Amino acid sequence: MKESVAERYAETKLSLQKYYENLVKLEISDPEKFHKVSYLGIKRSKHEEIQKEIEDAPCVDTIGQVGIFDDGIPFYHYRRAAFTKEGNRRLAEFGVKLKQSRFDPTEDRQIKRNWKSYCKLTNLFDPSEASEVFCDGQKRGKRVAKDPYFYAYLCRGLVDRTCAQVVRRVYILFNKAQEAGDDREWTESEDIMLKKLAKKHNNKWATIGRKLNRTRFTCYHRYTKLQKDEKVKSCCLTATEDNNGLNIENDHSENENLKTKSTSRSRYCKNTNSLITVLEELLKAEEESLRDKIKIVKFREWFTKRHALTEYDEAKKNLMCRQLQDVLKLCEAYRLFECLPIEHCNCYSKLEFVHYFLTNKKDKGSRTAKAMEDLFLKYVDDKTWTPRNRVLLCHKLDITPDKENTESGQIKKIQDASKERHLLDEDQNGYEENQIEKEENQDKENGEQVEEGQEEAQVENSDNEQRKNKNSKRKRSKTKEKREKKQEEEQLSQENEAQQTDKLPKVSENQRRINSKRIKPQKETQENREGPFEENRENHVEELHRELVEELHHESPEGPKNEKGTRKRSKTQTKKQENNVERPESNEEPTNKKKNKKEKQKEPEEERQVDEETQEKADDCLIIKTEQEIEFDTQPTYSSYNNSNYDQEGYNDSYSSPSSKSRGKNKSTRASNTNGNQRGDQRYTSDNEEEEIDPDSIIRNLLISVD
DNA sequence: GCTTATAGGCCGCGAACATG
DNA sequence: CATGTTCGCGGCCTATAAGC
């Protein structure tokens, strides 16, 4: 029985295995490289040398229990439960850092794409019925799909997310409420309905949400807000009845107090001198303890309580804290601290670097990736340290140099490669000859198909693509050097093509191993399958593979279309996206708010400019980031600092509220079985409230450095 | 700087599923 | 069939982003 299930869904597995088989594990010592380029868990780089490195690097072995893979699929994508110490270790060993931050639009798009292509692959669902599948109330305990790889497929490409995270996101993403606009304003009638439904359904927010076409979250929060308001109203009424004047006076005096306490921000703006002084004192006074810390939990609290800051008022402390956090965030976003030697990877070095940065920064563009990286390298150099290597996952599909600076050439190549692999595959599996013929026939047409496919994708992705093409054309005409370079690259790529056959056995051996391990499709199971799909099963896989290639090359093929045509995103996302889309076209910021925002985003924008410059330089580079990606990459969240690579567990410490602590007491009873939401199982060590050295991360770091 | 909105996380529950 | 495990859901908490 078990086998037949696996057989029935062998395509899903095969497709996933194919997806991951081109992964390359790369060690990078230069912090400048990959400083902020992470695409759906698959790293990319514009550096030609890195592209070359990736090209030359052997593919990661994904078969068996190797690295993060269990039989070709990341182990934490199989099911949403069970994330154990062993799991942590494997992640650490493989250099995978799980994201803890919110899903960004690129990730959302990837999930949507995964859903679509899953529907296409299996015919189990219609892509349009996502909201029905995920939103209309799953029967408790019943799986959405019997396919054991269903969730793994939805996780495809999201290497730095766990199944649990993706599943949760999926339920929100495909919620019908998103279509209607979950952020729409509440009307009075809705409020009344909400109150009624809350009573009727006994605060079952998901049910209520479905009835009101909103998510459970918005219903819950609206209801609590309404209740709060009512309480306030009734309180006010009773209070004013009791002793009107006194209350008013009290309120007034409190307001006055607040006013006098608050300090004008402008007083401190752009003045880092005091921060530098404070940092100096802090480093002197707390050197010992800071050297022991890898991360400071509850940073704000910690910072404001330091003895060195007693002379400053609260507002000033908060501002300095914010300044400090900003710099730390950037460092994390640029992954600079990952290059600190393991023995110096502590808070002292981090803060010392911040101090170094603040004292040595130039005024303009000081926070661009390049500038910060330069300073960081200088700092490391001054210390006579050797930067630690980082391990990153890259996708081979991303980096093959292409001929005409069009992607078709590359896709062709990949297709050729996959064709060959596939044929070998078939041989191994003893597939029917006519199947192979079919494949061959199809592959003969590949070139045309690919071009067609590309055209389609270009239409879909017209803006970005056009920009890309325009850029590349313009650039090409600009310099002869670049042409020469290109010629060289052409030669290289020709050579590569010639070598491709040499390389193929590598991959195909990998594939062979997949085949030897995976359950071979048999006639019985074929009969079980649905007709139309069955005939084109392998074509499907190939097609999907092709899609994947296109996806990877077109960055966000469905992005604009999706947003436009289908569901409305969450407020934040929509706005972010709007910003992203609009910015390239017009630099004007119509409103004051936007101006403020602009000020806030000054650094990231500066950075973006630099990025564009580098983009210019990276003429022939296959991967040109879209504005969107750049935008998101340059907007690091504090969580990225909080949940830095050095301690996955730190996050849980930040939950050190009494409630979570008491909850934590019985976590051992829960241990690793039920609800193995990764978080639950990661929390072995959080005893120290303030700070904590994460043993896992140390091991990880050691592994990375030793590796 | 404060408030509000958003969404991810934790954990318990009950039902379905898997296993022996 | 009994038992253990997994899954989906729900309620709540909380960090963080966005808005004012």
DSSP A602-667: HHHHHHHHHHHHHHHH-TT-S----HHHHHHHT---HHHHHT-TT-STHHHHTT-SHHHHHHHHTH
Measured CA to C1', what is the nucleotide nearest A220? C11
A566-576 pLDDT per residue, tens? 333 333 333 33
Tell me what pLDDT residue A698 has.
42
Does residue A272 register a pLDDT over 50? yes
Distance A2 CA to B18 C1' (A): 10
Distance A439 CA to B18 C1' (A): 39
Q: Which residue has the higher pLDDT, A374 or A329?
A: A374
Cβ of A483 near strand B (under 7 Å)? The reply is: no
Does residue A687 register a pLDDT over 50? no
Measured CA to C1', what is the nucleotide nearest A203? C11
A456-465 pLDDT per residue, tens? 233 233 333 3
Tell me what pLDDT residue A431 has.
28
Average pLDDT over residues A394-418: 42
Whole-prediction pTM value?
0.56
Query: Do A146 and A81 fall within a single domain?
Result: yes
Residue A294 lies in a domain: no
Residue A96 lies in a domain: yes
Considering its fold, how many domains does chain A have in total?
3
Query: In A262-368, which residue ranges form alpha helices assigned H by DSSP?
Result: 273-285, 287-292, 299-304, 314-333, 347-360
Residue A318 lies in a domain: yes
Measured CA to C1', what is the nucleotide nearest A143? C7
Query: Do A162 and A213 fall within a single domain?
Result: no
Query: Do A90 and A158 fall within a single domain?
Result: yes
Distance A599 CA to C8 C1' (A): 44
Residue A551 lies in a domain: no
Distance A663 CA to B13 C1' (A): 16
Query: Do A101 and A17 fall within a single domain?
Result: yes
Confidence of residue A150 (pLDDT cuts 50, 70, 90): confident
Among A128, A143, A174, the domain boundary falls at A174
Report the range of poorest mean pLDDT among A119-123, A429-433, A585-589: A429-433
Q: Which residue has the higher pLDDT, A285 or A550?
A: A285
CATH number at residue A204: 1.10.10
Among A143, A174, A205, the domain boundary falls at A174
Strands (E), A36-165: 38-39, 42-43, 65-66, 69-70, 73-74
Query: Do A89 and A229 fall within a single domain?
Result: no
Residue A388 lies in a domain: no
Average pLDDT over residues A189-203: 73
Per the rule left: phi > 0, alpha: psi between -120 and 50, beta: everything else, A184 is beta
A9-50 pLDDT per residue, tens? 777 778 888 888 777 777 776 666 665 444 444 566 666 777
| DSSP symbols for A665-687 | HTHHHHTTTTT--HHHHH-S-TT
Query: Do A25 and A53 fall within a single domain?
Result: yes
Average pLDDT over residues A474-503: 39
Among A138, A155, A174, the domain boundary falls at A174
Residue A430 lies in a domain: no
Could you tell me whether strands A69-70 and A65-66 are parallel, antiparallel, or unpaired per DSSP bridges?
antiparallel
Query: Do A14 and A163 fall within a single domain?
Result: yes
Residue A438 lies in a domain: no
Query: Do A164 and A196 fall within a single domain?
Result: no
Residue A342 lies in a domain: yes
Q: Note whether A158 and A111 are within 8 A (CB).
A: yes
Query: Do A49 and A107 fall within a single domain?
Result: yes
Distance A675 CA to B12 C1' (A): 10
Q: Note whether A432 and A445 are within 8 A (CB).
A: no
Q: For residues A299 and A654, what is the distance between their CA atoms, to the nearest angstrom?
A: 10
Does residue A83 register a pLDDT over 60? no
Confidence of residue A235 (pLDDT cuts 50, 70, 90): low
Measured CA to C1', what is the nucleotide nearest A316? B1
Measured CA to C1', what is the nucleotide nearest A2? B18
Domain range holding A324?
A: 311-350
Query: Do A156 and A9 fall within a single domain?
Result: yes
Q: Which two tokens stand for residue A600?
A: 């806030």
Query: Do A163 and A198 fall within a single domain?
Result: no
Q: How many C-beta atoms surround the C-beta of residue A160 within 10 A? A: 19
Query: Do A208 and A337 fall within a single domain?
Result: no
Does residue A385 register a pLDDT over 60? yes
Tell me what pLDDT residue A122 has.
77
Distance A379 CA to C2 C1' (A): 65
Average pLDDT taken over every residue of chain A: 54
Q: Determine what percent of chain A falls in helix, strand and coil, rounding each to the nearest 5.
A: 65, 5, 30
Does residue A681 register a pLDDT over 50? no
